[in-house]
Structure 1
Amino acid sequence: MQLDYFQLIDRIVDLNLDEKRITVEAQVPQTHTIFEGHFPGFPIMPGVLLTEAMAQSSGWLLLGVMKFERMPFLAMVKEAKMRGFVSPGQLLTIEARIEHEGSGFAVTSAKARVGTELKCSADLTFRHIPFPDPALRVHMDAMALKIGFPLQAITQ
């Protein structure tokens, strides 16, 4: 994770466009200034960042399903549940799947685990539009390479 750049996904572990699901990993940093205030003596990953990590995972899935032709933007978080603490240094595994698509929106369900222990889950709604700026598309292409997005999945 690179919290300062809001890059919360380190690598894509599995992407299945036919089944409309993705699995990613995110290594929570051992040290970061965010843990100094959240909380002193008991550092934990903020729930809002766990939600964002699930949203980013879902976003990569949607980009793949839409063949990088449209950009998903988080529109709504529903049924978010924080079920346990995530500590510095832990490895998050996040799974997301598409539940519904249509009319410029998509709904995903996502879950984050440390090992086999479920830490959080949410239903997420995205609005997707054509890329609003060519520079954003270039940036997303570069990020896709960095996190191991299987580009062959969208060129078939």
Structure 2
Amino acid sequence: MRLEYFDMIDTVDVFDVKAGHVETTARVPEKSTVFEGHFPGYPVMPGVLLLETMNHTSGYLMLGMHNFGRLPFFAGAKRVKIRRFVLPGMVMKITADLIHEGSGFCMTQNEIRVDGEMIAEAELTMMVMDFPSPELPELVRERARQHGVALGLST
């Protein structure tokens, strides 16, 4: 996890496009400039970054559903609940499950757990559209490979 670059996950552990399910892992860094202000003396992962971490996991599901040919963009969140603090060094397990897809939008149900305990959950909406620049598709595919997605081998 590289917070400053919005590289929110470390690995894609389960990539089951047919089942509409993705699982990822993210280890919160021990040190980050984010924690200098949130909060001095008591570093806590900002809730909005927990939401973004769920968004990235859902994004992989959307990318896979569209064979990495279209790009998902965050469009909304409902029923967001943050139950516990996430501290530096914690390892988060994130899941995304497809609820609905249609008319260029997708909805997913998402959870974050640490040591099996529910930390956060949300229902996310994403808009899926063509890549806005010609260099972006390969950059997204390369990031997916770095996170462990075997492109062309998803089920």
Q: TM-score, normalized by length of structure 1?
A: 0.95
Aligned to 2:10: 10
Equivalent pairs counted in the alignment come to 155
> What secondary structure, in the 3-state scheme, does the structure 1 residue paired with 2:144 have?
helix
Partners of 1:35 and 1:4 lie apart in 2 by: 11
- CA drift at 1:66: 1.1
Query: Contact 2:90/2:114 (CA < 8 Å) preserved in 1?
Result: yes
> What secondary structure, in the 3-state scheme, does the structure 2 residue paired with 1:134 have?
coil
Aligned to 1:40: 40
Partners of 2:150 and 2:99 lie apart in 1 by: 22
Alignment of 1:7-86 (within 5 A): 7-86=7-86
Aligned to 1:108: 108
1:136 equivalenced with 2:136 (yes/no): yes
- CA drift at 1:41: 2.0
- Greater displacement, 91-100 / 35-44: 35-44
Query: Contact 1:82/1:119 (CA < 8 Å) preserved in 2?
Result: yes
Report the aligned-residue RMSD.
1.1
List alignment gaps of at least 5 residues for structure 2: none
Partners of 2:133 and 2:37 lie apart in 1 by: 36
> Which deviations, in whole Å up to 9, do the C-alpha atoms of 1:121-156 show, x marking residues without a partner?
1100011111121111111011011101121335x7
Give 4+ residue runs of structure 1 displaced > 3 Å after superposition. none
> Which deviations, in whole Å up to 9, do the C-alpha atoms of 1:17-44 show, x marking residues without a partner?
1211000000100111211211122211
Query: Contact 2:4/2:33 (CA < 8 Å) preserved in 1?
Result: no
> What secondary structure, in the 3-state scheme, does the structure 2 residue paired with 1:152 have?
coil
State the identity %. 42
- CA drift at 1:89: 0.4
Query: Contact 1:64/1:153 (CA < 8 Å) preserved in 2?
Result: no
Q: Match of 2:50, as an amino acid?
A: L
Q: Match of 2:125, as an amino acid?
A: T
Query: Contact 1:70/1:129 (CA < 8 Å) preserved in 2?
Result: yes
Q: TM-score, normalized by length of structure 2?
A: 0.96
Query: Contact 1:16/1:22 (CA < 8 Å) preserved in 2?
Result: yes
> What secondary structure, in the 3-state scheme, does the structure 2 residue paired with 1:49 have?
helix
- Greater displacement, 60-69 / 31-40: 31-40
> Which deviations, in whole Å up to 9, do the C-alpha atoms of 1:85-144 show, x marking residues without a partner?
000000010000110000100000100011111110110001111112111111101101
Partners of 2:94 and 2:127 lie apart in 1 by: 21
